[in-house]
Chain A
Amino acid sequence: MSTDVSRPLKITIAGVRGVVGETLTPDLLVNFSQAFGTWTGAGRVLVSRDTRPSGVMVAPCVCSGLTAAGCEVVDLGVCPTAALQLAVRSSDAVGGIAITAGHNDASWNALKFFREDGIYLNPKQAEELLNVYHQKEFAKARWDELRPVGRDDDAGRRHLEAVLAQLDVEAIGAAGLKIAVDCANGACSEFTPAFLERLGCEVVAINDDPELPFPHEPRPTPPNLSQLRALVRAAGADAGFAHDADGDRLGVVTEEGEAPGEEYTLCLGAEMVLGRGDPGPVVTNLSTTMAVDDVARKYGREVIRTGIGQVFIAESAVNYAAAIAGEGSGGIVFPKINYAHDSIAALGHIVALMAERGQPLSALIADIPRYTIVKREVVCPPQRAYSVLEELRRGLEAPWADEINLDDGVKLIGEDRWVHIRVSLTEPRIRVIAEADARGLAMDLADEYVRRTERLL
């Protein structure tokens, strides 16, 4: 095949993602927005963006395409994606578009589409949208049906109030916690410091200027947390938290300045929510740590595992009436607030846990069984990705594995370890994630399956 495999464009159920100036062109943006407006019908559609500079170019393209389709656009400006999702769900809007490439670097941007309940499009809906897009027979409003773009600058604040309503603000305030936060100059910059102050915390914020570029890759994984770790130590903070660019993933740093990994975000959130007695199971995806099972077991709860994708987590959270849902990337859903991955809510609940238990964060984490999770990836041309996985499935056998799950790629599950190989939704890569209770074992497992995958390429 002559296709340029490095062309950075991904059109998937997670949305449309590309590099500005290469694949994410105004024409593509207008077409997708008009396709979305055609799919939703001529109702109200809310639009938000994160702080990456290209948002200023992308937003008018989106507004124009939606307006041309007859939608009434309300622009929420810069706010966390969770705030957009909440605003869509709690209004008569027929959908929403978030302009954010989440944790990708600033050269990328993306459109994420939400349906009227504020949840991502599921695969069937995404397929409908893609069919509209490809057919290019968009709804075109007559000139006198066009509606001006409205503004709503209050969605971010309403979202904070919705999170605060779920927390014991007094108890948290009484704990007198000092919290460091790294907003990556992203969409939470203007919200999280204020949120922590409302909780009565002493706040030390860095990278909280939405006008400035991302200080590091806006993915809250340990390699990007060195600045926050130093800050926690220097300021003597009780904890540090790191946001991604649009406020769906949260990274955690203990009072000792250690970054245990974003897998712990869900475990800590589950400790809080299950501990206070919210009913229902825990929903997570196939690639998330076994520690979630341990926490759930402690409270006698079931764990529901889904394929990878925020929509699967959110829909399962609805269907199973989950207490909490989320994934090992640090994105947590609190069903009492909204069916959105919400890093501000996650931060609030972990702070609440610290206040309630009166223990340092390191001790709370020490209570959670510690596994080593190794995340690797193999660059793979998108047109080969699924066939490589198919070939991989054929040669599978592992004496340690007593379960093979084929819901999303392939996952081999044993008593004390697992490995999950799947196609990335957002990048031209195959991801290999392995976890075991011993570090060497996890590394070996990941290495082995990376090698097997590479051999097939």
Chain B
Amino acid sequence: MSGIQSLKIGVSGVRGIVGQSLTPQLVVGFAEAFGTYLDGGVVVIGRDPRPSGEMIRDALIGGLLSTGCSVIDVGVCPTPTMQHAVVDLGADGGIGITASHHPAGWNALKFCREDGVFLNEHQAEELLSVYHQGAFVLRGSDELGRVGRDEGAINRHLTKVLMSVDREAIAALAPRVVVDSVNGAGADCAEGLLQKMGCDVVAINDVPTGHFPRDPEPIPENLGQLCAAVLQYGADIGFGQDADGDRLSVVSAEGVAIGEEFTLAFAADVMAERGPGTLVTNLSTSRMIDEVAERHGCTVMRSRVGEVNVAETMMAEGAIGGGEGNGGVIDPKLHHCRDNLAAMALILQGMARRRVSVAEWAASFRPSAIIKDRVPCRAGHTQRAVLALQRHYEGREMDRTEGVKVFFEDGAWLHARPSNTEPIIRVIAEADDSPTARELCDEAMRVVAEAVA
């Protein structure tokens, strides 16, 4: 992929390939735009351990200081830790330097506001307008901000998670846990948290070098090493993290990667005990959360895809739990951010209190298969594709909030939506079994392909 084509500037931030499209000049420009957008104040920055993180951090600091912002650098940490620090330190905004599940050559900036939640679509548009106008407010040398370090962010985050969980129950179970941190930002703190909760921890890929030994997206096909380690060490559970600690996947004691959809299902099953109340997830997430809601007398609300959309819906509804089916769990008792530490704590508490294994817990849900696929589709053709799908499925129950979601018999569904970050249409289907889900996907993909041909 050429440098020019790799650059993504959009509502979810700025992403590109280092050495090609993600240049220090671009980072400086966005730092100045963000500083201008905030009109000064304090900005917290954190990064995952990718080798390009320091170069980008330096460019960010230079740009932010020049707009009069002061910077508090929390160093290498999970993205949720940075989001916590924004609130803890009373900052005016935050920037995460991480391309989360993308390969090591990528990096990205993610902007968040004073409540530690990412900019929503409108705010991101405002920031982009400032960036594109290019009229940044630069301060003279007597009005420049200052740089500070905060070494305590991870510990504060750990403490909050520990305080929120039933440590006694977990310690009594004393589960053996293997955690695969993909040499990412979550390496040290995950191990620390699990130990403090009384787990017997085996950590693999636990040196935060930013050199990823596997694809950092925590989906089953990337977790072979973790599955083997769970079997080898006779562990009760395995946790697979992404590079910046906001997506988590679970492996059973039998060494089976049960899929990232179960992460939210399990965590929601525990958060729903706080109910009755509202659980929030996005349109593309498994129906398992509906089962959770039924068990606990809760209701489910579905937002458009994207962490900020789920978070804002949760805040508006006063939700008791939420997250996304990609393995991102949001515990509103702690913060409206996707947080692997919170997810691990919730899941282990659930196992400990229920005295269930991962496999047993998974089996408590109606059997379900979810297929995630994609069809190439230029941005200019997305509406044509969506309209073709709506016509094709006319007569069926449909949700048109984002792309189109179609509901079928037996609780099966199909969601097709244009990606925010790539020239594709994402097609997700869930059904009782894999062939059915596959069939639903294939049908939708044929419709899209024909529509855009």
Contacts and interface: CB of A to CB of B under 8 A. Distances in A.
B140 A146 contact: no
Contacts of A29: 62
Interface string B1-45: 000000000000000011110011101110110000000000000
Given A25-B138, A56-B146, A143-B50, A68 B62 contact: no
Most chain B CB within a 10 A radius of its CB, from A30, A60, A109, A148:
A60
Interface in B313-351: none
A204 interface: no
A26 B31 contact: yes
Contacts of B142: 53, 106-107
B64 to A, nearest CB: 9
B54 A149 contact: yes
A249 B212 CA distance: 51
A44 to B, nearest CB: 16
A324 B145 CA distance: 42
Contacts of B32: 26-27
A140 interface: yes
A80 interface: no
Contacts of A30: 24-25, 28, 59, 62
Contact of B140 (A19, A56, A63): A19
A149 B139 CA distance: 26
Contacts of B29: 27
B52 A143 contact: yes
B65 interface: yes
A33 B317 CA distance: 50
B104 A143 contact: yes
Contacts of B182: none
Contacts of B18: 142-143, 146
A60 B104 CA distance: 22
B172 to A, nearest CB: 43
A226 interface: no
A146 B146 contact: no
A57 interface: yes
A148 B144 CA distance: 25
B141 A21 contact: yes
A45 interface: no
Contacts of B59: 26, 30, 60-61, 64-65
Contacts of A146: 18-19, 51-52, 54-55
A144 interface: yes
Nearest to B143: A21
B58 A143 contact: no
B144 A61 contact: no
Given A20-B66, A20-B141, A143 B19 contact: yes
Interface string B383-413: 0000000000000000000000000000000
B141 A53 contact: yes
A143 B19 CA distance: 6
Given A30-B28, A144-B51, A56 B144 contact: yes
Contacts of A93: none
A68 B25 CA distance: 10
Interface in A52-91: 52-54, 56-61, 63-65, 67-68
Given A60-B61, A144-B104, A146-B51, A22 B138 contact: yes
B63 interface: yes
Contacts of B54: 67, 146, 148-149
A64 B105 contact: no
Contacts of B63: 26, 61
A20 B24 contact: no
B162 interface: no
B24 A68 contact: yes
A20 B144 contact: yes
Contacts of A310: none
Nearest to B17: A143
B79 interface: no
Contacts of B146: 56
Given A26-B31, A143-B107, A21 B66 contact: yes
Interface in A117-173: 140-146, 148-149
Most chain A CB within a 10 A radius of its CB, from B50, B55, B59, B104:
B55
A48 interface: no
A34 interface: yes
Contacts of B62: 26, 29-30, 57-61, 64
Nearest to B107: A143
B170 interface: no
A143 B24 contact: no
Nearest to A108: B141
Interface in B60-87: 61-63, 65-66
Contacts of A26: 28, 31-32, 59, 62-63, 66
A106 B61 contact: no
A176 B145 CA distance: 45
Please name the 4 residue pairs, one residue from A and one from B, whose CB atoms are nearest each other, closest first. A61-B62, A64-B58, A60-B58, A21-B140
15 contacts: A19-B141, A21-B66, A21-B139, A21-B140, A26-B28, A53-B142, A53-B144, A63-B55, A64-B24, A64-B28, A64-B59, A67-B58, A108-B141, A144-B105, A145-B19
Interface of A: 19-22, 25-27, 29-31, 34, 52-54, 56-61, 63-65, 67-68, 106-109, 140-146, 148-149
Given A27-B29, A106-B142, A107-B142, 15 more contacts: A20-B144, A29-B62, A30-B25, A56-B147, A57-B65, A57-B66, A59-B62, A60-B57, A60-B58, A63-B58, A64-B58, A142-B105, A143-B17, A143-B52, A143-B107
